[in-house]
Structure 1
Amino acid sequence: MHIFEYKTKRVIRPVYKLSMLAILIILVLAFTRPILVAVAKFLELPRSHLSCDAIIIESGPAFSEYFVTQALEAYYSGQAKKIIMVLHSYDLKPTIFGIRNYRTFVESAFDSLGIPKQNYLLLMLDIQDPYTLNSAIALADTLADVRSILVFNDNFHIRRSTLTYQKIFAAKNIAVYPYTYEIYLNSSNWWKSANGWRRVIDEYIKLTFYWVKGYI
């Protein structure tokens, strides 16, 4: 009897441990995914479908074709009457591989699309970090004929961008709404790549900084 019990314990013990480990892994996976999804979802804002006077597009030293194409959907659909493009960290003296006259380059592209000059505006701002805040401040006194805007940005940056513009533009009685576009990284897959982790962590750091400093 003692020998039987001993052998049974020897067999059951590793099976029990493996079963418990499997259950633990299943539980971790079951609860981790909703948490990871929620983490990215918090940064997102649903795209507004309201019609506004203008849509604002922010970028670094240059606009990507995909970026502008997505924003143009609001213009072509009639949701935005005007396109305002804002470049910050713009190099006024580009390198040998840079575009010497970027303004002419952009204007030519819009002219080729048949968009009237009065319906688009390109602003090259010589500002420092924090760029989103300083862009909003610089634009606040420029948009005298605008009463409502759509802020265009990706699904990770849209919350901070919208909240910043809402706070700055409130003094000018300009209503601000988000116009979110989703990139290849989103709430359902961001943790599967290093770039996803970088984007989410970086945005939470910036969002916290803006909140602590009272920018939003």
Structure 2
Amino acid sequence: MSIGALLLLMLFSHLVLPKLFSYLDVSQQPQVADAIVVLGGGRARRAGYAAWLYQHGYSNKVVVSGNDDVVGYYTATLREAGVPEEVLVMNDQATSTYDEAEQILSLLLDMDANSALIVTDRFHTRRASATYHHVFQAYQIDLTIVSPEDSVDTASWWTSEFGQSIASEYLKMPYYWLVYGIWSG
């Protein structure tokens, strides 16, 4: 490999790659809401953060979303963390972020909710935010996209356990633009 190629590789890995992760993170500070919505995705940290939000008074309702396995796992995690069964609302039919947004909108309307905290991972916040705001645009429901802290080092995310998930977000973003007309940029 030539010195020029090595320098280009070093420049790319030190300047460009760290910014790719940071670009995806549009998470906000939590605020009191009518519901906490935990998006599916199989990451235990999401349910743990939802429990923390509930215990700290951010809402008295927790919507658990995803497929059957994820909802079961999240529900068990929330119960173990002390979230009472009666405050949990289940949505076990989600197959994608878009489908989930449509289903969550219906649940929140049924609950007469005016606001919601949407809990997901940092690397998913940009696409989740764009999708939820697109689906909810005709409704007066205030959305706040939040995420738990994680151990991803933005300087070397591509070497972490989240590397594939983070990279896949960059494939899903143009897909959502082409299929749903949702631009995450």
TM-score computed with the length of structure 2 as normaliser: 0.78
- The answer to whether the 8 Å contact 1:82/1:119 transfers is yes
- Output aligned runs, 1:4-83, within 5 Å: 21=3, 25=6, 29-30=10-11, 32-60=13-41, 65-83=44-62
Match of 2:97 in 1: 132
Say which one has the larger Rg: 1
Distance 1:191 1:77, change over 3 A: same
Q: How many aligned positions are there? A: 177
**CA distance in structure 2 between the partners assigned to 1:215 and 1:30 by the alignment:** 32
Which position in structure 1 is the counterpart of 2:158? 191
- What is the alpha-carbon distance in structure 2 between the residues aligned to residue 137 and residue 188 of structure 1? 35
* Structure 2 counterpart of 1:80, one-letter code: S
For 1:159, which of 126, 129, 150 is the aligned residue? Answer: 126
Greater mean alpha carbon deviation, residues 76-85 or residues 113-122: 113-122
1:50-129 to 2 correspondences below 5 Å: 50-60=31-41, 65-88=44-67, 90=68, 102=72, 106=75, 110=79, 113-125=81-93, 127-128=94-95
* Structure 2: tracts of 5 or more residues without a match: none
2:176 is matched with 210
Percent sequence identity is 24
- Using the TM superposition, give the Cα deviation of residue 161 of structure 1 relative to its aligned residue in structure 2, in angstroms: 1.1
Alignment RMSD (CA, Å) = 3.0
Distance 2:101 2:6 in 1: 46
Q: Which has the higher strand share?
A: 1
Cα pair 1:43 1:158 within 8 Å, conserved: yes
- Structure 1 residues not aligned, in runs of 5+: 1-19, 92-101
Alpha-carbon contact 1:166-1:175 (below 8 Å) kept: no
TM-score if structure 1 supplies the norm length?
0.68
- Return closer, same or farther for 1:178/1:33 CA change in 2, 3 Å cut-off: same
CA 1:134–1:24: 2 relative to 1, 3 Å = closer
Query: Which amino acid counterpart does residue 141 of structure 2 have in structure 1?
Result: I
Selected match of 2:106 from 134, 141, 147:
141
- Contact conserved, 2:51 with 2:78, CA < 8 A, in 1? no
Residue deviations 1:93-140 (CA, integer Å, cap 9, x gap): xxxxxxxxx49x937962x65434442212211x54xx1101111221
